[in-house]
Amino acid sequence: MSDNDVHDWINKQIANNDVVLFMKGTKTMPQCGFSMQVAQILNHLGVEYEDINVLEDMGVREGIKTFSNWPTIPQLYVKGEFVGGCDIVREMFQAGELQDMLKDKGISNNTETQTA
CATH number of the domain at 65, please.
Answer: 3.40.30.10
What residue numbers bound the domain in which 10 lies? Answer: 3-104
For 87-98, the pLDDT digits (tens) are 999 999 999 999
Could you tell me if residue 67 is inside a domain?
yes
Kindly report, residue by residue over 4-60, the tens digit of the pLDDT: 899 999 999 999 999 999 999 999 999 999 999 999 999 999 999 999 999 999 999
Number of domains in the chain: 1
Residues in CB range of 2: below 8 A, 6 or more apart:
none
Phi, psi of 55 (to 5 degrees): -75, -15
Indicate the pTM of the whole model. 0.92
Strand order in the sheet with 50-53: 50-53, 19-23, 75-78, 81-84
C-alpha 34/C-alpha 93 separation (Å) is 14
Determine, yes or no, domain membership for 51: yes
Q: Does residue 115 form part of some domain?
A: no
